[in-house]
Structures are given as C-alpha cells and as structure tokens.
Structure 1
Amino acid sequence: MKRVFLDGLGRLPVVRDVEVPEITDEEVLIKVKVASICNLTDVHTIEGTHPPHHVWAEGYLRTPAHAWPAPLGHESAGEVVKVGKYAAREFAPGDRVCTIHASETMSEYVKARPEWLAKLPDSVSYEEASPIELLSWVNILVEDTVRPGTVVAILGQGSSGLMATQCAKVAGARRIIVSDPVREKRELALKLGADIALDPTSQDIVKEIERLTDGKGVDTVVECAGIPDTIRICTQLVRKREPHLGGTRPGTIAVFGACWDPVPFDFFELHFKGAHVVTAGATTLGYTKAGLQRGVDLVASGQIKMRPLLTHKFYIDDVAEAFKLLMEKREPAVKVLIVPDKEYFDHVRLGD
C-alpha cells in the first residue's frame, strides 16, 4: 500500500510502498478515503518548527533524531475494513468513520483504536469529515471560552480560524471580529458568521478593535494564527475585569495556534486586566472521542459548514505538489485534501 513519509527537515514528502498494517484485538483497520493537510503541524514539521505528529503524540516537544522517516497525516476519514475481536463491540466492517490521534493517515490504510474513532452519518461526506479532527480541538476551545452575548476577536482565518468563527457563532457570541491578511479568507469569514473582517496589512488591529469596542476590548480573543505578532497583541485586545462593577467574569485569551518561537508580551497588562489564558491542550474535551463526536454532530446538523473550507484536492501520488502549494502560497488555500483512494478521487467535492 502507499504511505506518505517525510525523510527530514526542509524536504518535500515522498510516497513509499509499505505493508498493510496488522491489527491487534483492540484495533480497527481503516481504508482511508480522504486525508487532509494540517496547515500548521504538517507544514511546520517540514520547516522544523513542530515535531512530527507521531513523536508529538509520544510527548516530544522537539524533534528527536529517531523521528525520521516520519509518516505524515493525522486528519482522515474512511471505511472500516477489519476489526479486532474486542473492537468489534463498537465497530464493524463497512462503518464510515473519522479519526483522531492516528498518526499515519496519509496512507491507503491506517489502524486505530476505537477510542480514536467516531462514526459518520450518511449525510457527512468523507471529505467533510476528514478535518473534523481539527474541528474537535477548535470547537472545545471555543465552547470553553466563549459565552452567549459576548464580543469575540479571532486572529487568523485559516482552517482553524474559520472553524472558530463558526463555533463562536454557535456558542452565541453577539459580535465576531476577525482578522486575516488574505482577502479571500476575510470574505469567506463574513459568509460563515463574522460581523467584521479586518486586514492586518492595512489596519492597526489593536486600534481598530479598541474603536469597535469603545475602548473596552473584547470578552474573548481566539488566537489561530500561531505567530508571535498575533499572540503578542492578545493582552492588548482582551478587556479588563471590573470587579467593582459587580464581579464581572474575567476576559479570556484562547490560544489555538502552535508557535515554536518565544513570544514577548506584556505580562503586567495580563495581570492588571485579570484575564485568563486557555490553550487548546487545557480544554475539557479537546482531542478526545467525546470532542470528536461533538464535531461530527455539529457538521451533521449543518451548524458548522465544512465544505466551504475545502479548496484543493490531490491524489496521494501528488502529495509533494500539495505541500508546495501551501508552502509557496501560490494561491489562497484553506483545507487541502490528500486522496489515497483513486476510485473515490472524482467523488470528492470541494467548496461551494
């Protein structure tokens, strides 16, 4: 079978033939229909600013020497083709599923444990389901930090930011202000629920949000860009707690973007404002089976629209071109799909 590997830093992925995985009694074998590139994790692995997913899952914060060659992919959806005797209590051949935790999903087949899977209703296509792994993280972070009737700023409108925008709407945010340097992404954000879309290349985000909130700041800042410039300004954007006005809840900085570089920020401002900081890894159900199922339910109900985020598709043999598209930023791309199943390729429908 075919599987995508990365042989080292600064290299493009390659496809190799490997044996179909053997499963244990506790595992499930899945025929991958669609995998999707994580624009930050997978691309940053090539650039050396994020460890490969399979060693990150083992607890490594930096890339160890034994990481190479690294199998790529941790977002996918497919069909169960074989189950171990204990996994058969929950899954059967023919079940349509999406994955979480699996680290070799840019493959024709991948094995997974039942607690890494959620079943898909027929109304959710494989291409819509593949990025639900990402949605499961984003949504729980938003659910934990955005309350009904609040004002939210979301920095970055890539795939995670566009999901966060929709999740904030579902959570009941009264006003959603987003920022992104790419015009097409700002326009898409407005279609998906944002009220105001700012351009950081021509507007001062801090001053604009200060103006839009009458100098108060926002209740929650959701950082989805994962770069020092956006993380740094979060303390400036979040509102100050006013306990003398009746014990108001503190403002919240929700950090989703994974940033390798050190980020200087004004700690006294954070301290003075009495704000909370919540990272994606500190959420209640992030990266769990329950969070994954919640993501499936949101997509199935139509509350989260995944298809508008799907901008490109590539057959697995062309995976290097897919990464070049993202890394060279030749054209606006949100979610790029890798399709290992050649027969399914023509059935993959991109954004409307």
Structure 2
Amino acid sequence: MNEQLPKTMKAAVMPKPGTIVMEERPVPQVGENEVLIKVMAVGICGSDVHYYENGRIGRFVVEKPIILGHECAGMIAAVGAAVSRFNVGDRVAIEPGVTCGRCSACKEGRYNLCPDVQFLATPPVDGAFVQYMTIREDMVFPIPDHLTYEEAALNEPFSVGIHAAKRCRVQPGTTVAIMGMGPVGLMAVAAAKSFGASRIIVTDLEQVRLEAARRMGATHVINVREEDAIERIQQLTGGVGVDTAWETAGNPKALQTALHSLRRGGKLVIVGLPAQDEIPLNVPFIADNEVDIYGVFRYANTYPMGIEFLASGTIDTMSLITDRYPLAQTQEALERAIHNKSGSLKVMVYPNE
C-alpha cells in the first residue's frame, strides 16, 4: 500500500511570525496505531492568524519553526499495522487534538482538558499545512461521499459551537444571543440552530458577516455600528432578555454586552479568547440574576454529531468559503484572513492541488 507514496512532500513552514516559507520534508512514517492522511482541505482559523501575527496565544509561544493549520480533512493514504477501522482511500475529518486517554480528564470524557494534549498547530506541535500528515486512528472520522472536504474541515469550528450548546444545555425553544460573527461565531449559529434554538439573535460590525449569519440560521441580526445591542435585544425579547448569550469574538465589550442581554437566571457562555487576562464584569448583576457562567475550551465528543449535522444538508457551510489558495500561497491566505475582514469569511488552503 505504502509503495506508491512519494518520499517527500511540500510543507508551509513559519520560521518566525509574519513569514511562511515552502520546504520539502520527508513524508512521515506511519506508526502502528496511526493513519497517514493526504491532506485535502485546511481552513484558516483565528488561532493560526494569532500565531502568524503575534507568535503566541496566552501560554503557548512559538519558539521554533512551526507548521500552522488545524481545521483539516483528507484521504487515508496508508494505515499502521494495528489500525482496524480504516482502509486506504477512506475520506475522513480529522480531530486535531490527540489526548493521552489515561488522565482523570480523559477518563471523565472531558478529554479537551487533558494536560498532555498534542494539538495540531499549537506550539510545539506541527499542524496541517502539509501534503501528508500522520495521526492516531481514533482521531479521524469517516465522512459520507457527498460531504466535501471543505465541509469536513469546518467540523472543527462547528465542534466548538456544538460543545458550547451541550455545555449550556440549549433546548428546543431556547433564545440564544451570539456576539461576534467570525467563522467560529457563524458555526455557533449553525450549532444553536441544530440544537433547536427558536430565536438566534446575533451581533457584529460587518454587514457581510451578518448576512452570512442569516444563511446559517440567525433569526435577528444587529449591526452594532448602527444600533445598541442590549436595547435591541430587550425589544426583541419583550424586556425579558435571552436564555443564553455566547461571546465568540474575544472582545471585552461584546462579553459585557452578552452578560447584560441575559434574562434573570440566564447563562453566559465564554467562547472567545480576549487579548487581555482580566475584563471588568458587573458582579452584582451576576449574583442578583443568578447568572451561570460557562467557559468553553475547544470540544470533546462532538465530531460524529457534527458530521451528521453537516451531512444532513440543513447547514449552508459551503457559502462561508470565500477564498481558496494552494499550499504555495499559504502566506497570502493568512494575509487575506487578516486584512479582508469586511469581505472574507473562511479562507481555505488546498495542500494537494
């Protein structure tokens, strides 16, 4: 099986922040519990952009050359000796965080909190802007023939929304406000809709993103350049507030808006990571209204459900893909994601085209 494989492959490497260079690297050898994947589509995520611009996110610092990219899907090109679930040629979505499986977090099923997770494109682990990559077989999931590689790659940001919905127990009939319509926010709208939220109110500064949110299932959109989000949400809910509010942009003002849009007994869900560690929140409001606060870190046990939702055809994910680049233009793709906020939604890189 492995003989037809090339010996070397192209990789888009970041030697230092702000620079991507193309390198020839050996095609990785597949371990006995691993699969080798021919990478077909990689979405650019906010974290890729952060590392490219700043070289760090919180405690994760780029100290040596790294390959970015973690929203990915592809085709199995080789299987290890002990692999039982996959064959060469299978189309798969890749869950990018390989966990230890032995710690208390993994045992509890909250493996996103595993302290030893090896997460693609999180220093020092290389990511998916490569033609081939290996990963343990339990981190890949089959996708149906009609699901595109791009949609399968979007299962990664979609999983964040699914995890958020599960954490705060979105039920059919729930009213949800989501602040920030970047790619994670847009997929969060799709997740809230998939879980049966009856009203989904969203905010953003960019009209193109609000229009995309409508396609994803938002029932009301608020351009915060033009109107006060809290006032508008109060109007839309008859002065009551929403059941749950998600902040997905990492914006301090949006987090405060999310809090104050809640009904009494509502739930605040923090998805976005702000640049600063501390943000003032109205503690008497939180206590007086018995607000529940949920932190969301990546996701756990979401990939099969996400693939099912995406394969159902009810979510128009392909309309989110606004820009497409070959691997050789990874730097241009990252620059596009940074500088075209008013036009680009999801930028996609194709390592094998």
How would you bin the TM-score normalised by the shorter chain?
0.7 to 0.9
The 2-side partners of 1:331 and 1:240 are apart by 35
Contact residue 138 and residue 280 of structure 1 kept, 8 A:
no
Which of 5, 12, 34 in structure 2 is aligned with 1:4? Answer: 12
The 1-side partners of 2:90 and 2:232 are apart by 49
Which of 9, 15, 23 in structure 1 is aligned with 2:30? Answer: 23
Post-superposition offset of 1:237: 1.1
Contact residue 16 and residue 55 of structure 2 kept, 8 A:
no
The 1-side partners of 2:243 and 2:335 are apart by 38
Aligned to 2:89: 94
Correspondences of 1:299-338 after superposition (within 5 Å): 299-329=310-340, 331-338=342-349
Quickly say closer, same or farther: Cα 1:254–1:330, change in 2 above 3 A. Answer: closer
Larger strand fraction of residues: 2
Which of 131, 142, 149 in structure 1 is aligned with 2:154? Answer: 131
SS of equivalent residue, structure 2 residue 268? strand
SS of equivalent residue, structure 1 residue 233? helix
Post-superposition offset of 1:151: 1.2
Contact residue 35 and residue 106 of structure 1 kept, 8 A:
yes
The 2-side partners of 1:3 and 1:263 are apart by 39
RMSD: 1.7
Letter in 2 for 1:325: R
The 2-side partners of 1:29 and 1:223 are apart by 36
5+ long unaligned stretches in structure 1: 52-60, 242-250, 343-352
Contact residue 36 and residue 73 of structure 1 kept, 8 A:
yes
The 2-side partners of 1:189 and 1:330 are apart by 15
Aligned to 2:290: 274
Contact residue 167 and residue 304 of structure 1 kept, 8 A:
no
Correspondences of 1:1-80 after superposition (within 5 Å): 1-9=9-17, 11-38=18-45, 40-48=46-54, 50-51=56-57, 61-64=58-61, 67-80=63-76
Structure 2 residue 144 is matched with structure 1 residue 121: yes
Contact residue 180 and residue 200 of structure 1 kept, 8 A:
yes
5+ long unaligned stretches in structure 2: 1-8, 97-118, 121-126
Quickly say closer, same or farther: Cα 1:117–1:154, change in 2 above 3 A. Answer: same
> Please, what TM-score do these two structures have when normalized by structure 1?
0.85
Aligned to 1:217: 241
Contact residue 32 and residue 82 of structure 2 kept, 8 A:
yes
Contact residue 267 and residue 291 of structure 2 kept, 8 A:
yes
Aligned to 1:232: 256
Post-superposition offset of 1:253: 1.1
Deviations 1:69-110 (A, max 9, x none): 1210111111101111112x1111111001112612111001
Give the share of equivalent positions with the same residue, in percent: 31
Count of residues in Structure 1 that have an aligned counterpart in Structure 2: 315
Contact residue 206 and residue 342 of structure 2 kept, 8 A:
no
Contact residue 233 and residue 265 of structure 1 kept, 8 A:
no
Structure 2 residue 80 is matched with structure 1 residue 84: yes
Post-superposition offset of 1:184: 1.3
The 2-side partners of 1:181 and 1:226 are apart by 14
The 1-side partners of 2:193 and 2:135 are apart by 33
Deviations 1:23-51 (A, max 9, x none): 2101110000111101x111111233743
The 1-side partners of 2:289 and 2:134 are apart by 47
Structure 2 residue 305 is matched with structure 1 residue 294: yes
Contact residue 323 and residue 346 of structure 2 kept, 8 A:
yes
